[in-house]
Amino acid sequence: MRIIVDGDACPVKDLIQRAAVRLNVPMILVSNRPMAFGSEYGVTAVIVPEGPDQADHWIVEAVTEADLVITADIPLAAAIVEKGSVALGHRGEVFDASTIGEFKARWTLMNSLRQEGLDLGGPKTYSNKDRGNFANAFERLLRTKRR
């Protein structure tokens, strides 16, 4: 098992890294620019070329069924689930075979409304409650995946 992190906009890298070290699980941080984060014990930083979805392409190629991917990107999460794995959103959303359809349908609807020019605003502010939801879901998935 590895933890693969879509790292460019991930607000919980520190939490993931602590768990990876504690459990001796490899963590791969994928981004399109060097980050101060990623040189810690057990963490491999992968820098992909600049460009749309380059990190996503790398992750989809690398992921196996045993891996856990951390991402808030719904199309990437859908591709991960298609490969038989599980993804986890930054707010604790579990993307698996039983949930990805609903998340993808909502994403598609919202994306089409934005393309029509409807201003839907941005994502809500990331809160301590979101961080706690992520931590709880992350621990549950780690236990499940390590069995």
Q: Give me the residue spans of the domains in the chain.
A: 3-146
pLDDT of residue 37: 67
The alpha carbon of 130 is separated from its chain's Cα centroid by a whole number of angstroms, namely 14
Q: Per the structure block, which two tokens stand in for 42?
A: 């057990």
Letter for the amino acid at 70? I
Spell out the CATH class of 3-146: alpha beta
Nearest to 123 by CA among 80, 97, 93: 93
Rounded CA-CA distance 30/32 in Å is: 7
**What is the chain's pLDDT, residue by residue, as a tens digit (147 residues)?**
999 999 878 999 999 999 998 899 999 999 998 887 656 778 899 999 988 889 999 999 999 999 999 999 999 999 999 999 999 999 999 999 999 999 999 888 988 898 888 787 777 899 999 999 999 999 999 998 877
Torsion-angle region of 38 (φ positive above 0: left; ψ -120 to 50: alpha; else: beta): left
Bridge partners, residue 30, by sequence: 6, 46
φ, ψ of residue 46 in degrees (nearest 5): -115, 120
Indicate the burial class of 53 (C-beta count within 10 angstroms; 0-12, 13-18, 19 or more): middle
